[in-house]
Amino acid sequence: MESETMVLLSSREIEKMRQAGRLAAQLLDHLEPMVKPGVSTLEINDEAERWTKAHGAHSAPLGYHGFPKSICTSINHVICHGIPNAKQILQDGDIINIDVTPIVDGYHGDTSKTFFVGTPSPVAKKLVEVTYESMMRGIQAVKPGARIGDIGAAIQEYAESHGFSVVRDFVGHGVNTTFHTAPQVPHYGKAGKGKKLRQGMVFTIEPMINEGTWEAKVLEDGWTAITIDGQLSAQFEHTIAVTDSGVDILTLPD
């Protein structure tokens, strides 16, 4: 984490976050037609970079702690932080998470989505659907006075009820003009535990759900995290704001 200081955003700052979040969501929509067999992850990265620049924004991941590309592309057993590569060609039946963070006027729009390449296997389809619903249940747990643990508990209960597991090594995070800041938001945990949610908090909810064991390892490139059993992993991510009455998703296309 770059900063451990909790920042509460004003309504004006949250609108800035929404502008960045909207652009991030539109970028994912723009990239979706490229997600098909025969396309390389580098081609997707390069189009993301071109489109982001054309919209007056720049890509937060590029150069971040030395990360070499503009987006993360995580295929099949890759949990997160996959590096786009000219030799990595999408195959029918793959699943791929694309994680984008354009910066607009200094504010980060952070979102990701797992896509099907061609026709998914039944287990891949179920895993992706359960991961999306897990994220939404985590989001629905957000309101002033709730606890961070309520989010993780909602996600963990739903994912595990379908026989899947929740990655522990990577968590959601505060985001604003800083890419990663307080609070940390685990996607597992106990209801009623953890920091109390307050109006103006803005953070990501981004569960990584595995087909098999939750355990991960990071490859020698220092970024790519994979499942230790080689089974599938899926992820979805939204950036949300705690409102006076509940929750506001900031990474929607319109």
Q: Count CB neighbours of 117 within 10 A.
A: 20
Is 46 annotated to bind a ligand? Reply is no
Is 187 annotated to bind a ligand? Reply is no
Residue 24, H or E segment: helix 11-31
Question: Contact at 8 Å (CB) between 133 and 161?
Answer: no
Is 150 annotated to bind a ligand? Reply is no
Is 110 annotated to bind a ligand? Reply is yes
Tokens of 190: 């106990």
Is 238 annotated to bind a ligand? Reply is no
Is 55 annotated to bind a ligand? Reply is no
User: Cα angle vertex 90, ends 211, 29, to 5°?
Assistant: 85
Cα–Cα distance for residue pair 219/142, rounded to 1 Å: 34
Cα–Cα distance for residue pair 6/156, rounded to 1 Å: 25
Is 160 annotated to bind a ligand? Reply is no
Tokens of 16: 């800035």
- E strands of the chain, at which residues? 58-59, 72-75, 78-80, 95-100, 102-104, 107-108, 111-116, 165-166, 172-174, 181-185, 202-205, 208-210, 216-218, 225-227, 233-235, 238-242, 247-249
Question: Contact at 8 Å (CB) between 149 and 191?
Answer: yes
Q: List, as residue ranges, the binding site.
A: 81, 99, 110, 173, 180, 206, 237
Q: List, as residue ranges, the binding site for a divalent metal cation.
A: 99, 110, 173, 206, 237
Q: List, as residue ranges, the binding site for substrate.
A: 81, 180
